[in-house]
Amino acid sequence: MGRVYTLSLAELLQVLQSLGVEANILDVSHEVAVIDCSTTLDLPALQRRLGGIIKILKIVDVVKKREQDSVNFALKNYFKPSVIKTNFLKSTTGKIQFGVSVYLLNNIENIFGEPKRLGMFIKRAMQDTGSSIRLVLPEFNSLALASVVVTHNQLTVKGAEICVIAATNKVYVAKTVTVQDFEDYGRRDYQRPVRDDVRGMMPPKVAQSMLNLIGVQRGATLLDPFCGIGTIVQEGALLDYKMVGTDIDKFAIQGCEKNLEWFRNRYKVPKGKYHIEVSDAKNVSTFIKHLKEIKAITEVTGIVTEGTLGPLYSHKFPSPGEISQNFANLGSLYATCFDDFNKFLQPKSKIAITIPAYKKSLTEYIMFPTLDFARVYGYNIVSVIDQKVAKTLPFLRVTPRGTVIYDRKDQIVAREIVVFEKT
């Protein structure tokens, strides 16, 4: 899973549910989730859809382990040449390239160095059979290979990444099937003609995750009423939604149009996939009505948006008075918006929105004191992860009201991601 692992797991479970896949969590930590699925999945397609999942592995075996045993000791009789060739390197010819990654399900002591020990054992076993083989290992005391390393070394094409997922009493042995296309995410973020480093931009991965959180089927129409320069609109179009984007700032819309023209040409997106217009989010229903009248859309099924976060503080933490005033101003704005959304959203429609959370420490935030700006207009909070599941996984960072916070290092104004459902 990605750095904000709670968001990664929430997105994954929602996507599997929307695909009609029953998913049983067998084991999970802040690094990795082991999930038993009810049906075979198109893993490359699933990888492209998920913004928060770095790698997708296929479990090939489970090996018992005593609590006092090291991972290397538990697997000393497992990696025989025949097993390695059958389970990991079956279709590989010529010089073989393979890497080893270790993921933890529990706090296991003396784990550093295990990837190298396992890798050297596998390499020697294969060399004894006459194979020409090259080993790729994690660097800088890491236990796992980054997706960049897996891709650059073509491990999923010319060999394998062998992954070990270690628990106290067992070890899952897995093979990496797909990794996140970091180059394409970078292209969609940094190669666009217009950027807005002053207001801050949502990373495409986060936009993708938020789009997935509302669980709407492909082909539906979604709205971003604070679209800015168009990140959510472009990611929605790439996920095969019909997108409507509006913003009160005409210069933002001009930048959005330039970005979407670049995006449409680069990714062969049909013109009818999106509609962009200057519009106040407090009265966006007027534009929606117009689109319906000209039969450009039928119904707006949901809303995904980077809401206005208020002033962005880069150096000095705001005073309590400033924070209170910011919350009051934004609460008033959002209340008017949610009232207007009622004019076109149907019951059960969902809204995924970011609101500001002020980061006091690594795990402490000052959050919106109340979300009544939505509740009074008939919107309930939907927990990003089912509360029954969340209670069994105390390491998850789900807020008491069922939301998740996305932040970056040294960032004062973080994003609290909230999912609402209209009653």
Task: State mean pLDDT over 37-63.
Answer: 96
Q: Are residues 169 and 258 in the same domain?
A: no
The domain boundary, picked from 148, 179, 210, lies at 179
pLDDT, one tens digit per residue, over 259-312 is 999 999 999 998 789 999 999 999 999 999 999 999 999 999 999 999 999 998
pLDDT at 199 over 70: no
Share of the chain above pLDDT 90, in %: 82
Q: Say what the pLDDT of residue 421 is.
A: 98
Using the CB atoms, write b or e for 352-364: b if 16+ within 10 Å.
Answer: bbbbbbbbeeeee
pLDDT at 211 over 80: yes
Q: Say what the pLDDT of residue 178 is.
A: 97
Q: Are residues 151 and 216 in the same domain?
A: no
- CA distances, 395 to each of 107, 405, 408 (Å): 12, 14, 19
Q: Are residues 188 and 175 in the same domain?
A: no
Q: Is residue 195 part of a domain?
A: yes
Burial class of 5 by CB neighbour count within 10 A (0 to 12, 13 to 18, 19+): buried
Determine the structural domain holding residue 129 and report its residue range: 55-179
User: In the predicted model, what is the mean pLDDT of the chain?
Assistant: 93
Q: Is residue 205 part of a domain?
A: yes
Strands 413-422 and 379-381: antiparallel
Q: Is residue 259 part of a domain?
A: yes
pLDDT-based confidence at residue 164 (cuts at 50, 70, 90): very high
Q: DSSP strand E in 65-128: where?
A: 96-104
Q: Is residue 124 part of a domain?
A: yes
348 DSSP 8-state letter: T
Inter-residue contact 345 to 378 (CB < 8 Å): no
Could you tell me the pTM of the whole model?
A: 0.94
Task: State mean pLDDT over 220-225.
Answer: 98
Task: State mean pLDDT over 363-377.
Answer: 95
Q: Say what the pLDDT of residue 362 is.
A: 84
The domain boundary, picked from 179, 213, 243, lies at 179
Q: Are residues 82 and 194 in the same domain?
A: no
Q: Are residues 156 and 188 in the same domain?
A: no
Q: Are residues 229 and 262 in the same domain?
A: yes
Bridge partners (DSSP) listed for residue 170:
64
Q: Is residue 34 part of a domain?
A: no
Q: Secondary structure of 168-228 in the HEC alphabet?
A: CCEEEEEEEEEECCHHHHHHHHHCCCCCCCCCCCCCHHHHHHHHHHCCCCCCCEEEECCCC
pLDDT-based confidence at residue 42 (cuts at 50, 70, 90): very high
Q: Are residues 97 and 217 in the same domain?
A: no
Amino acid making up residue 232: I
Q: Are residues 224 and 114 in the same domain?
A: no
pLDDT, one tens digit per residue, over 90-120 is 776 678 899 999 999 987 665 778 899 999 9
The domain boundary, picked from 179, 200, 232, lies at 179
Q: Is residue 6 part of a domain?
A: no
Q: Are residues 169 and 194 in the same domain?
A: no
Q: Is residue 75 part of a domain?
A: yes
Q: Are residues 276 and 341 in the same domain?
A: yes
Q: Are residues 359 and 240 in the same domain?
A: yes
Amino acid making up residue 323: I
Q: How many domains does the chain have?
A: 2
Which residue is listed with tokens 């394998």? 160
Which one is predicted more confidently, 129 or 178?
A: 178
Residues 399 and 384: their CA atoms lie apart, in Å, by 10
CA-CA-CA-CA torsion sign (177, 183, 187, 190): positive
Which of 53-57, 172-176, 207-211, 407-411 bottoms out in mean pLDDT, i.e. has the lowest?
407-411
Phi/psi of residue 344, each to 5°? -135, -15
Give the CATH number, domain containing residue 372: 3.40.50.150
Q: Is residue 37 part of a domain?
A: no
Q: Are residues 250 and 332 in the same domain?
A: yes
